[in-house]
Amino acid sequence: MQIAELQQLQEWFGSYVATFGDLDPEGLRNIRLKQDHTQRVVACMEALAAGEGLTDAETTLACAVALLHDVGRFPQYRRWRTFRDSESDNHARLSLEVIRDEALLQRLPAEEQLLIEEAVRLHNLLTLPDRISSPTDRFIRLIRDADKLDIWRVFLDYFQLPEGERASAVGLGFPDLPEVTPACLEALAAGEIVRLEQARVLNDFKLLQISWVYDLNFTTTRRLLLERDYLRRLAATLPASPLIQRAVDRAMSSLLTQSGQP
Assign 217 to helix, strand or coil: coil
Q: Which stretch binds Fe ion (CB under 5 A): 44-52, 69-77, 132-140, 224-232?
A: 69-77
Q: According to the binding rule CB under 5 A, does residue 145 interact with Fe ion? A: no
Q: Which stretch binds Fe ion (CB under 5 A): 64-72, 165-173, 200-208, 251-259?
A: 64-72
Q: Which stretch binds Fe ion (CB under 5 A): 62-70, 78-86, 188-196, 246-254?
A: 62-70
Name the residue among 37, 42, 33 with its Cα closest to residue 10.
42
Q: Considering only residues 149-208, where is the footprint of Fe ion by CB under 5 A?
A: none
Q: How far is the CB of 173 from Fe ion (least distance, A)?
A: 18
Q: According to the binding rule CB under 5 A, does residue 147 interact with Fe ion? A: yes
Q: How far is the CB of 179 from Fe ion (least distance, A)?
A: 28
DSSP H helix total and E strand total for the chain: 12, 0
Question: Are 38 and 13 spatial neighbours (Cβ–Cβ below 8 Å)?
Answer: yes
Which CB, 70 or 117, lies closer to Fe ion? 70
Name the residue among 158, 175, 149 with its Cα closest to residue 231.
149
Q: According to the binding rule CB under 5 A, does residue 85 interact with Fe ion? A: no
Q: Which stretch binds Fe ion (CB under 5 A): 66-74, 108-116, 127-135, 214-222?
A: 66-74
Q: According to the binding rule CB under 5 A, does residue 70 interact with Fe ion? A: yes
Instruction: List Cβ neighbours of 28 (8 Å cut-off, separation of 6 or more).
Output: 20, 21
Name the residue among 222, 232, 220, 215 with its Cα closest to residue 255.
222
Q: Which stretch binds Fe ion (CB under 5 A): 54-62, 70-78, 187-195, 246-254?
A: 70-78
Q: How far is the CB of 225 from Fe ion (least distance, A)?
A: 16
Q: How far is the CB of 170 from Fe ion (least distance, A)?
A: 12
Question: Are 72 and 92 spatial neighbours (Cβ–Cβ below 8 Å)?
Answer: yes
Question: Are 221 and 258 spatial neighbours (Cβ–Cβ below 8 Å)?
Answer: no
125 DSSP assignment: -
Interface with Fe ion: number of residues (CB under 5 A): 2
Which CB, 152 or 214, lies closer to Fe ion? 152
CA gap 129, 242 in Å, rounded: 34
Q: According to the binding rule CB under 5 A, does residue 112 interact with Fe ion? A: no
Q: How far is the CB of 35 from Fe ion (least distance, A)?
A: 11
Question: What Cα–Cα distance (Å) separates residue 40 from each residue in 7, 45, 146, 168, 258?
Answer: 16, 8, 9, 19, 25
Which CB, 67 or 202, lies closer to Fe ion? 67
Q: How far is the CB of 249 from Fe ion (least distance, A)?
A: 28
Q: Degrees (nearest 5) of the Cα angle 63, 213, 175?
A: 95
Q: How far is the CB of 146 from Fe ion (least distance, A)?
A: 8
CA gap 144, 147 in Å, rounded: 5
CA gap 163, 218 in Å, rounded: 35
Binding site for Fe ion (CB under 5 A): 70, 147
